[in-house]
Amino acid sequence: MPRDLAKIYITEKAERSLKGGHPWVYGEEVTSVSGEYEQGGTVDVFSKKGSWLGAGFVNDLSKIRVRIISRNTNDTFDASFWERRVKYALAYRKHVCGDLSVCRLIYGESDGFPGFTVDKYNDIIVTQVLCLGIEKIKDVIYRILTEALALENCKVKCIIERCDVPVREKEGLSQFKGFYDPEWMKNARGGRELTAKDAKTRIFENGIYYDIDCLEGQKTGYFLDQKLNRKAAGEISKGLKVLDCFCNIGGFSLNCARSGAISVTGADISPLACSNASSNASINGLANAEFITVDVFDYLTELAGKKQHPYDMIILDPPAFTKSRETAKNAYKGYKDINYRAMRILPRGGYLVSCSCSHFMTVEMFERMLQDAATDAGVSLKIVEKRFAAPDHPVTLGIPETEYLKCYIMQII
């Protein structure tokens, strides 16, 4: 082990977790420390009996005290280490996606980059850093990433940092968003200053064009994880009247409209989202899609109260109702409420697409919620498909947080 790092010793419970594949050590799991370290630096992690278990970023301010980055005793954490990681991530996307034009290039712990997300929209790179260790070396990683993409004939016009999320504060980091624009990037484009226009682009997914804003749009500009789920929902929707709840800029809506739905109504509380969705429908010549600005909960309640069946298919893709284990119980009620109302609105033989993007709402909890909602609505559910995130968001066994997205396509019977 050719390193001179501080040593952190952990409990037997934490040791079992690490050996099972989970990469985090929580503060209360640390039993002792030997040596000095900088916050965000790298430390070696040992069992209570002195066995080496891995090396990772340390942060005493975070609930997650250590985030493991390597289980190889021969690794040294210089630029070449991170270059290998970047190339592994790109090679995987190139193989499973076949195209690097629009996809998630780096998916946090699944790619060995704790708390780090990188999305690519044509020539725009959008990043999110939620780990102090990555924050301290991000300049190195950005340059490596840009150079690696150039080798794949993928030019990078700009890098946008979407670090405008509260969870950063738990790492002792401030929130911000904006262009990452060092001299080497300015020089590469001839010194031109970046403007808000540079953050906008038109992407192509499942045969549909979308105009997105990577600086002002939700998350990193778009929700790439639902790509194949949108396509699957579209295929089911042919010949049906569809209601797409929480439609955002029209992802599910336009897949249904393009696939032959009789009509599609997208509903969202955001006037801007509905305006953008309507514009995207126009770009693609989809006249069978319309968008309404409503509170989805109120709208579903209103429709359920009428005891009519104006839709043959309802899509529920809400924002995460819970971002902590403590609020999962209340989130369960929220998911059950909207699914119950959708089940009451749909006719027998109708289709329900229900999603959750919270890893705290586990598969077991999600299925129990669906069954509870169906019981209360007096219906039964036939599962057409159980779906998860697209393959550019790979699930790593042993890290349940990477398996956050669930998308169930069901028939009401």
Q: State the pLDDT at residue 331.
A: 87
Q: Nearest 10 degrees: CA dihedral of 310, 406, 102, 141? A: 150
pTM of the model as a whole: 0.95
DSSP per-residue string spanning 251-308: HHHHHHHHTT-SEEEEEES-HHHHHHHHHHHHHTT-TTEEEEE--HHHHHHHHHHHT-
Of the candidates 409, 406, 410, 403, the residue with the CA atom closest to the CA atom of residue 381 = 410
For the stretch 139-165, pLDDT in tens is 999 999 999 999 999 999 999 999 999
Q: Could you tell me the two tokens for 203? A: 């992407």
More confident site: 2 or 43: 43
Share of the chain above pLDDT 70, in %: 99
Strands 64-70 and 313-316: unpaired
User: In the predicted model, is pLDDT for residue 328 greater than 80?
Assistant: no
- Give me the CATH code for the 79-199 domain, please: 3.30.750.80
Mean pLDDT over residues 255-283, rounded? 98
For the stretch 71-124, pLDDT in tens is 999 999 999 999 999 999 999 999 999 889 999 999 999 999 999 999 999 999
- Give me the CATH code for the 223-412 domain, please: 3.40.50.150
Give start-end residues of each CATH 3.30.750.80 domain in the chain. Answer: 79-199
CA 411 to each of CA 16, 198, 240, 349: distance values in angstroms, whole numbers, following the listed order: 41, 43, 13, 6
Strands 42-46 and 158-163: unpaired
Q: How many Cα atoms sit within 13 Å of 124 on the Cβ side? A: 24
Instruction: Please give the backbone phi and psi of residue 241, each rounded to the nearest 5 degrees, phi first.
Output: -100, 120
Q: State the pLDDT at residue 323.
A: 67
For the stretch 204-250, pLDDT in tens is 999 999 999 999 999 999 999 999 999 999 999 999 999 999 999 99
Give start-end residues of each CATH 2.30.130.10 domain in the chain. Answer: 7-70
Q: State the pLDDT at residue 296.
A: 96
Q: Which fold does the domain 7-70 belong to in CATH? A: 2.30.130
Q: State the pLDDT at residue 1.
A: 55
129 pairs with which residues across the strands? 116
- Secondary element (H or E) of residue 356: strand 351-356
pLDDT band at residue 329 using 50, 70 and 90 as cut-offs = confident
For the stretch 369-387, pLDDT in tens is 999 999 999 999 999 999 9
pLDDT band at residue 171 using 50, 70 and 90 as cut-offs = very high
Give start-end residues of each CATH 3.40.50.150 domain in the chain. Answer: 223-412
Residues 6+ apart with CB under 8 A from 87: 148
